[in-house]
Amino acid sequence: MRQGLQLKFSQQLTMTPQLQQAIRLLQLSTLELRQEMIEQLYNNPLLEIEEDNSGESVPETQQSSQSSNETHQENSGELTTKQDKEKADEQNSDYEWSEQIPQDLPVDANWDDVYNPSTSNSSGGEVNLEQVYQVTESFQGHLEWQLNLTPFSDGDREIATAFIDAIDSSGFISEDLFDVVAHIQQAESETISEEQIQEDELVAVLHRLQQFDPPGVFARNIRECLLIQLNQLAPETEYLQSALLLVTDFLEDIAAIDNVRMAKKAGLSADQLEGALLLIRSLNPRPGEALNSNDIDYIVPDAYVEKINGRWKVQLNDSNMPRLRINDSYSALIKRSDTSDDNQFLKDNLAEARWFLRSIESRNETLMRVAMTIVELQQGFLDYGPVAMKPMVLSDIATELELHESTISRVTTSKYLATPQGIYELKYFFSSHVGTSGGGECSSTAVCAILKEMIGAEQPAKPLSDNKLTSLLEEQGIQVARRTVAKYRESMGIPSSSQRKRF
């Protein structure tokens, strides 16, 4: 085997850090981009917020200071009197302040209520409900707080704690009771030679936990959840016995909504059945969801579209964005021929700041072009709603703007457009198509909107089946299969015709 040198040329695509930063900023939402800009502002000293200087009044301030000096020289006696009055008022206020401060505060007192009465909300102003938080942090915390107030033995308390840990977000225990306390049994068998936990003991602890708030928690199924809530009602509640009978023996028949057939099976009159159903519908089948602290994610649109002089115009939403610029003071300190560490630090941060601002401008420009193209192609949706949606895919926008489909996908991800029809994600405007009798195409979004209108106008006693909906669509020139209609109906959360039937 001989050794030798060989010269070879090759081409390879590499992503520079600047390109990686531009791609990352391109797929950020408005809130994420704002957070990124604030973070760069804190980390890079060459960046600063561009403030609005239209309200400056420096010359007026200087003039007022000069006039105040002249007035001070002429009326020094009056100023001395005013200063004496201000000192006297401060002493009086200090005296009143000290009189209001008690020596000892009660345990449940609030510092602001005692030491800052001027800023308290005692004037009857509006309370900001978003600043009012729950006492407990979570649903499990609310149950543990009640557990601490309930007398339990050490063994039962350990079982109750295991049940609280096993509860799901809806307030149910979906696992087997012995599987929940398996770790407790294993610990007892390793340390103490005692008998295993009996089922009666587990059920007894579970029944005590089922009396906790909210009503219906720690149920093992939907029937037990409803029975817990019904048993906690007053005995004189109207139609209570009828509701207990329906939940216990005819829970599956309630979903069929055939009142005549169910009344015959349960032996109830029409009034008793109607009253019992109303009482059952007032119950909460998922009691845990009321106390789950889910943070609300507010949607901030990235762009607005409105009709001005008969034409749709798009405008980017930069109201919540900080306006960044290069700090002139620090950039002026950079010396081209200086190679010190401080000067090199300023050079690196200046280059990073320029690339960051350029990437933001490129992102906004690309987002604006994509939004304008979508609005131009979907003007029928803006005028008439989802029924007039046109079929459109990523390649249509990419071909129009001479960009890659991956770029269009990044731009439309987590970006929202505020329209007169509502706020929609940019990806909402992209949909597949179905054929028409005239050889054209119809958007799947428009088909779903047409199906929703048909189902909304149907007779409750005679709902439209999937075959009937298919025939009605064919009459309008839209050719779809029955399974496609069923798929669109299920995607909108609409039940079948048998479940929609009302007697």
Give the model confidence (pLDDT) of 128-160 as tens digits: 444 444 444 688 888 999 999 999 998 899 999
Residues 155 and 166 in one domain: yes
pLDDT score, position 295: 57
In a domain, 337, yes or no: yes
- 53 falls in which pLDDT band (50, 70, 90)? low
Residues 159 and 215 in one domain: yes
Residues contacting residue 206 through CB under 8 Å, at least 6 positions apart: 163, 173, 177, 218
- 257 falls in which pLDDT band (50, 70, 90)? low
Q: CATH code at 173?
A: 1.10.10
Q: Taking 80 as the threshold, does the pLDDT of residue 372 lie above it? A: yes
- 7 falls in which pLDDT band (50, 70, 90)? confident
Q: Taking 90 as the threshold, does the pLDDT of residue 279 lie above it? A: yes
pLDDT score, position 199: 82
In a domain, 134, yes or no: no
In a domain, 57, yes or no: no
How does the average pLDDT of the chain come out, rounded?
79
Residues 198 and 255 in one domain: no
Of 410 and 261, more confident: 410
How large is the average pLDDT for residues 487-491? 89
How large is the average pLDDT for residues 33-41? 90
pLDDT score, position 293: 58
In a domain, 111, yes or no: no
- 256 falls in which pLDDT band (50, 70, 90)? low
Lowest mean pLDDT among 66-75, 194-203, 368-377, 462-471: 66-75
* Helix H or strand E encompassing 311: strand 311-316
Of 81 and 295, more confident: 295
Out of 235, 270, 292, a domain closes at 292
How large is the average pLDDT for residues 327-356? 85
Q: Taking 60 as the threshold, does the pLDDT of residue 71 lie above it? A: no
Q: Taking 90 as the threshold, does the pLDDT of residue 297 lie above it? A: no
Omega of the bond prior to 214 within 30 degrees of 0, cis?
Answer: yes
* Helix H or strand E encompassing 145: helix 139-148
How large is the average pLDDT for residues 64-78? 45
For residues 460 and 499, is the Cβ–Cβ distance under 8 A?
no
In this prediction the pTM is: 0.59
Q: Taking 70 as the threshold, does the pLDDT of residue 413 lie above it? A: yes
Residues 225 and 211 in one domain: no
Q: Which domain holds residue 380?
A: 303-500
Out of 162, 187, 220, a domain closes at 220
Tell me the HSE value of 146 on the side-chain side, using a 13 A CA sphere. Answer: 16
Q: Taking 70 as the threshold, does the pLDDT of residue 124 lie above it? A: no
Distance CA 431, CA 445 (A): 7
For residues 288 and 282, is the Cβ–Cβ distance under 8 A?
no
pLDDT score, position 260: 78
How large is the average pLDDT for residues 112-116? 48
In a domain, 46, yes or no: no
SS3 annotation, 73-108: HHCHHHHHHHHHHHHHHHHHHHHHHHHHCCCCCCCC
Lowest mean pLDDT among 109-113, 306-310, 426-430: 109-113
Residues 352 and 413 in one domain: yes
Lowest mean pLDDT among 374-378, 462-466, 495-499: 495-499
How large is the average pLDDT for residues 180-186? 77
Residues 310 and 253 in one domain: no
Residues 190 and 287 in one domain: no
CB atoms within 10 A of CB 184: 16
Q: Which of 89-93, 252-256, 319-323, 360-364 has the highest mean pLDDT?
A: 360-364
pLDDT score, position 52: 63
| Strands 303-308 and 311-316, bridge-based pairing | antiparallel
How large is the average pLDDT for residues 96-118? 46
Out of 220, 254, 273, a domain closes at 220
Residues 357 and 481 in one domain: yes
In a domain, 492, yes or no: yes
Distance CA 418, CA 421 (A): 8
pLDDT score, position 19: 76
Nearest-10 crossing angle of helices 240-249, 270-281: 80
pLDDT score, position 74: 45
In a domain, 480, yes or no: yes
pLDDT score, position 114: 47
Q: Taking 80 as the threshold, does the pLDDT of residue 108 lie above it? A: no
| Strands 47-49 and 441-443, bridge-based pairing | unpaired
Of 373 and 131, more confident: 373
Residues 372 and 426 in one domain: yes
In a domain, 216, yes or no: yes
Residues 252 and 168 in one domain: no
Single-letter amino acid, residue 226:
L
Number of domains in the chain: 3
Residues 331 and 237 in one domain: no
Q: Taking 50 as the threshold, does the pLDDT of residue 65 lie above it? A: no
Residues 438 and 484 in one domain: yes
Of 326 and 190, more confident: 326
* Residue 362 Cα distances to 41, 52, 367, 417, 438, angstroms: 19, 24, 9, 19, 42
